[in-house]
Every structure is written in structure tokens, then in C-alpha cells.
């Protein structure tokens, strides 16, 4: 039987987690079997987790792809790249996540195990939502964001595009977080956060501009 191809773009930490989620979905019948592989710009290994690592340019045209890197601006750049390569952006949902049937989730979204996405939530393209995060009713997370593990977004929260929420961040209901901002690990956000800033602490306060647009340094 000929199988369709599905690439995970990135073979680092988020990449291997995402491949594991995809395999879980296949084993449990949520996804049909695929020929699965990692795709990267410059391979340094032939295999990761027993799956092939393919260089960009050696890929199968028209294959599915899910972007699995943890930097919002890198996610945006890779999204533009895969669209130019003719790959088809695809979401991956863990079978162990709860996703309301009334939520709206765009293409290319990763939903990890034990995530809860509630009714009328809206998740934009190419967003990564990591393990055990809670996204309440009526929240909006715009495209190319990263929601780290155990984040809790209260109902009606809005997160602007290209923002990063660190592990364990808590965001009060109806708070707005601007685009291209970083909320640090364990922060508690009671009030709106502007665009292009880094906010830390309890209560979260702006500490500086997000000038280099990079989370991991």
C-alpha cells in the first residue's frame, strides 16, 4: 500500500515531541498511517527516533508538513518557506487532548497531550500548544504563537500573533497580550501587555522591549 508523506519540520525538542504525538494519533486511529519523516535545512543525522531525516529539497512535493520549532518568528519564516515549497500545512492533535467541537482551529496547529481547548476558542495558523495548557472559552490565539506547557488562559483572553507564553504562565480573563511579545515562565498576567515587549513576574510587568524577537538565546 502506498502511503502519503508527512514531514515534521524540525528535529529538536519540539520536533521529537510532535512526531511522538503524530505516532500516537496514528496508533489510535485518529490519523491514517503515513510515511513519516523529519525535514530540516541541514541534516546532521540520518535518523531521529528511528524516522528518516530529509533535507529540504529532497522532500516529496505536495506532502503534509507540521512546523515544530519553538521560536515564533522562526515558525513564521518556515511557514512562508513551506508554502513556497508546495507542502501542505497540517495540524496534529493528541488523542489525549480535549478540543471542543465549538472551537475553531486553523491549519498547522500542534495540540499536545492533556491540553484543554474550550468552546468558541479560536486558534490561528501555525500555533503550537504544549502539554497540559488550558485555553478557556472565547480566547483568541493568533497565528505563529507558541503556548508552552501548563499555561492557563482565562476566558476571553487574546494573544497577538508571534507571541510566546512561557511555561506555567497564568493570564487573567479578558486580558490582551500584544503581538510579538514574550510572557516569561511562571508569570501571572492581570493587565494588558503591549506589543513587542518582554513581561515577567507576579504580577507581570514589562521589563524591556522585545528588540531581537528571539526567545531562546
Q: Is 70 annotated as a binding residue?
A: yes
Q: What is the DSSP letter of 101?
A: T
Give the DSSP letter string of 12-50. Answer: SHHHHHHHHHHHHHHHTTSS---EEEEEESS-S-SEETT
Q: Which residues does 61 contact at the CB level (< 8 Å), separation at least 6?
A: 85, 86, 87
CB 89 within 8 A of CB 70: no
5, 35, 59, 137: the active-site residue: 137
The count of C-alpha atoms lying within 13 angstroms of the C-alpha of 12, restricted to the half-sphere facing its C-beta, is 9
Count of beta carbons in the 10 Å neighbourhood of residue 108: 26
CB 182 within 8 A of CB 216: no
Assigned C-alpha cell, 213: 524577537
Please say whether the dihedral angle defined by the alpha carbons of residues 81, 87, 89 and 93, taken in this order, is positive or negative. negative
Assigned C-alpha cell, 6: 508527512
Reported residue count of the chain is 217
Active site residue 137: yes
Tracing cell 529540504 back to the chain, one arrives at 56
- Show binding-site residues: 70
- Show binding-site residues for substrate: 70
Question: Catalytic residue positions?
Answer: 137
Amino acid at each position: 500500500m502506498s502511503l502519503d508523506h508527512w514531514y515534521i519540520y524540525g528535529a529538536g525538542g519540539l520536533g521529537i515531541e510532535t512526531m511522538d504525538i503524530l505516532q500516537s494519533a496514528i496508533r489510535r486511529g485518529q490519523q491514517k498511517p503515513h510515511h513519516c519523516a523529519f525535514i530540516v535545512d541541514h541534516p546532521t543525522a540520518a535518523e531521529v527516533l528511528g524516522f528518516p531525516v530529509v533535507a529540504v529539497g529532497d522532500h516529496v512535493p505536495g506532502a503534509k508538513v507540521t512546523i515544530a520549532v519553538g521560536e515564533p518568528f522562526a515558525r513564521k519564516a518556515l511557514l512562508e518557506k513551506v508554502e513556497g515549497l508546495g507542502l501542505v500545512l497540517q495540524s496534529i492533535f493528541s488523542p489525549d487532548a480535549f478540543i471542543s467541537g465549538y472551537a475553531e482551529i486553523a491549519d498547522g496547529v500542534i495540540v499536545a497531550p492533556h491540553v484543554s481547548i474550550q468552546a468558541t476558542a479560536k486558534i490561528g495558523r501555525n500555533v503550537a500548544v504544549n502539554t497540559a495548557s488550558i485555553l478557556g472559552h472565547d480566547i483568541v490565539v493568533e497565528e505563529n504563537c507558541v503556548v508552552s506547557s501548563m499555561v492557563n488562559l482565562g476566558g476571553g483572553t487574546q494573544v497577538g500573533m508571534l507571541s510566546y507564553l512561557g511555561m506555567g504562565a497564568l493570564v487573567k480573563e479578558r486580558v490582551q497580550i500584544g503581538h510579538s511579545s514574550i510572557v516569561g515562565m511562571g508569570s501571572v498576567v492581570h493587565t494588558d501587555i503591549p506589543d513587542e515587549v518582554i513581561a515577567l513576574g507576579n504580577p507581570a510587568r514589562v521589563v524591556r522591549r522585545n528588540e531581537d524577537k528571539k526567545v531562546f538565546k
